[in-house]
Amino acid sequence: NEGALWGGRFASGPADALAALSKSTQFDFRLARYDIAGSRAHARVLHRTGLLDDAELESMLAALDRLESDVLSGAFGPAESDEDVHGALERGLLERAGEELGGKLRAGRSRNDQIATMGRMFLRDHARVVASGVLEVVDALVAQAEAHPAAPMPGRTHLQHAQPVLLGHHLLAHAWALLRDLQRLADWDGRAAVSPYGSGALAGSSLGLDPVRVAEELGFADATWNSIDGTASRDVYAEFSWVTAMIGVDLSRISEEVIFWATKEAGFVTLDDAFSTGSSIMPQKKNPDVAELARGKSGRLIGDLTGLLTTLKGLPLAYNRDLQEDKEPLFDAVDTLELLLPAVSGMVGTLTFHTERMAELAPRGFALATDIAEWLVRQGVPFRVAHELAGEAVRVAEARDVELWDLTDDELAAVSEHLTPAVREVLTTLGSLNSRSSQGGTAVSAVGEQLAELKRQLAPV
């Protein structure tokens, strides 16, 4: 078992089938940079406790620097015989620092605390990349909202026309969901900023090393207070994976709407050529593939979370090799989002909205019936009665195949004496929108205030 990190107690090396099963370098070598950073911090605490002298520390750090630049340039990579990133890097260190010095670095640490720490470092870095991608989608939504400050559209519930809303109001509803995802990532980082390094295999170290110094050097706020928890827990990974799944779902919901808006039947948007695709057979096609891939990839992000939670379920404390399975779903989640987010922000930012068509449809389908009922309430009619009367007006209009504003004064009066011609003041889209002016409402003024508040909450994330 030449070059392995273990073997003393074994008379023979592992079977080929085990070695193949055990190997993780094909995916975990991407953590090499973090493992080398951990090694530097570890060398310093070994030095501080007297386990490395000044000259040894200097040579060790120099060897780690050479190893890192060789990893970055591609001159050093995992060999067939390396089991995982830790084994590969130890081999690289021994080649550069010599067996004697290189062999001292493993004192007081275990792959179990190393890998738990590397994972957190990786996720904290990528959380920032993912957050900036999400922020760009929010910015694209905000820019579209600002570009259409007074454009009405049909607001729907059950996909049926419900009440007119402002396009900006609708777009910002998606922005608020994504803002909460950004807040979740920021909040998550508080729990991720705790370093397991120094937990050893599960019980801590007898060598008097200082985990808090290591934590600080690696950019963590603290070291774990329980070495078993440090090596065995993965809830912080699972929480990250939940947030990435939620981001996927939020993008999928935006995408589903874009797909619908782009249909001939809706005719609300035209996709930019740069963010749509053609058909190999139908020359006229312009397909919303970005949105469809976003919708599809949300399934994969949910799968990543489900896979990770399933791996964790039933694991006894402390470390179990099952935990090696934690990495691929997390890598997949960050890779997926980092690929997807720029495409979604590009798609949203370049949508052309057909505001005339949207405005034309906004009040249709009796979408102003609620306005009649609320107008009657303002005239002193109890809402139960007002709801009935507005419903009757809808029935009359539907029977005649006209909209509410097409009803004659006589037809309105026949429904109720309360329905005087004055009700027409609320039978316009803008009248309906602007009457909803309290916080969170769809009036032009309320949406302006909303936008300012959204920006205020975006500033710190």
Residues that bind ligand ARG (CB under 6 A): 24, 28, 84, 111-112, 115, 319, 321, 323-324
Cβ 321 to ligand ARG shortest distance, Å: 6
State how far Cα 367 lies from the chain centre: 35
Instruction: Report the C-alpha gap between 340 and 332 in whole angstroms.
Output: 12
Could you tell me which of 84, 110, 90, 88 has the C-alpha nearest to residue 102? 90
Shorter beta-carbon distance to ligand ARG: residue 15 or 159: 15
275, 347, 349, 435 from 342: Cα distances, Å: 11, 9, 10, 37
Q: Which of 158, 206, 280, 438 is catalytic?
A: 158
Cβ 61 to ligand ARG shortest distance, Å: 24
158, 209, 311, 443 from 74: Cα distances, Å: 55, 33, 32, 58
Catalytic annotation on 255?
A: no
Q: Which of 22, 69, 132, 279 is catalytic?
A: 279
> What phi and psi values does residue 148 have, to the nearest 5 degrees?
-130, 65
Shorter beta-carbon distance to ligand ARG: residue 203 or 221: 203
Cβ 73 to ligand ARG shortest distance, Å: 24
User: Is the bond preceding 41 in cis, omega lying within 30 degrees of 0?
Assistant: no
Instruction: Report the C-alpha gap between 389 and 395 in whole angstroms.
Output: 10
Asked if residue 348 lies in contact with residue 172, where contact means CB atoms within 8 angstroms, the answer is: no
Asked if residue 136 lies in contact with residue 338, where contact means CB atoms within 8 angstroms, the answer is: no
Cβ 124 to ligand ARG shortest distance, Å: 18
Instruction: Report the C-alpha gap between 272 and 267 in whole angstroms.
Output: 14
Cβ 22 to ligand ARG shortest distance, Å: 8
Shorter beta-carbon distance to ligand ARG: residue 111 or 297: 111
97 exposure class (CB count in 10 Å sphere: 0-12, 13-18, 19+):
buried
Shorter beta-carbon distance to ligand ARG: residue 25 or 442: 25
Shorter beta-carbon distance to ligand ARG: residue 112 or 370: 112
Cβ 4 to ligand ARG shortest distance, Å: 11
Helical pair 235-261 and 289-312, crossing angle rounded to 10 deg: 160
Shorter beta-carbon distance to ligand ARG: residue 112 or 224: 112
Shorter beta-carbon distance to ligand ARG: residue 87 or 248: 87
Instruction: Report the C-alpha gap between 417 and 401 in whole angstroms.
Output: 23
Catalytic annotation on 418?
A: no
Cβ 68 to ligand ARG shortest distance, Å: 20
105 exposure class (CB count in 10 Å sphere: 0-12, 13-18, 19+):
buried
Instruction: Report the C-alpha gap between 44 and 39 in whole angstroms.
Output: 9
Cβ 323 to ligand ARG shortest distance, Å: 5
Shorter beta-carbon distance to ligand ARG: residue 109 or 111: 111
Measured in residues, the chain has a length of 461
Instruction: Report the C-alpha gap between 22 and 30 in whole angstroms.
Output: 17
13 is written with which tokens? 């090396």
Helical pair 85-97 and 54-73, crossing angle rounded to 10 deg: 120
Indicate which residues carry an active-site annotation.
158, 279
